[in-house]
């Protein structure tokens, strides 16, 4: 991923901060982030008490948010602003290769 130059509509330089990862240990599964993302990047999943991914509602112990489609992220940072747990990591384009 190469560095790119972005600007606002008014021509001011602007650096997108893309969602790189979500810490599954700290995520509350509150769903606030997915509500503000307009790009379908995020997806809630259920986990069993052993931490395995589960689709059977009766067996789900807790929910966490995951990055389902990272390549659709536009780096707006809206999801970070609504997360009460600061469990998301964002970064500019040059950091994508390190994730």
Given the rule CB under 6 A, which residues bind ligand SF4? 19, 22, 27-33, 36-37, 39, 41-42, 65, 73-79, 82-83, 85, 87-88
- Least distance in angstroms from the C-beta of 49 to ligand SF4: 19
- Neighbour tally for 13: CB within 10 Å: 8
- Least distance in angstroms from the C-beta of 80 to ligand SF4: 7
Alpha-carbon distance of 6 to 52, in angstroms, equals 40
User: Residue 47: which of 38, 32, 57, 37 has the closest Cα?
Assistant: 57
- Least distance in angstroms from the C-beta of 35 to ligand SF4: 9
- Neighbour tally for 79: CB within 10 Å: 23
Q: Which is nearer to ligand SF4, 49 or 68 (CB)?
A: 68
């Amino acid at each position: 991923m190469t560095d790119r130059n972005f600007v606002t509509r008014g021509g001011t330089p602007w650096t997108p901060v893309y969602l790189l990862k979500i810490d599954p240990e700290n995520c509350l599964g509150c769903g606030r982030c997915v509500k503000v993302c307009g790009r379908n990047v995020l997806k809630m999943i259920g986990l069993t008490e052993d931490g395995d991914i589960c689709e059977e509602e009766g067996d789900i112990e807790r929910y966490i948010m995951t990055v389902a489609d990272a390549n659709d992220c536009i780096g707006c940072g809206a999801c970070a602003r609504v997360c009460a747990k600061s469990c998301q990591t964002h970064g500019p384009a040059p950091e994508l290769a390190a994730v």
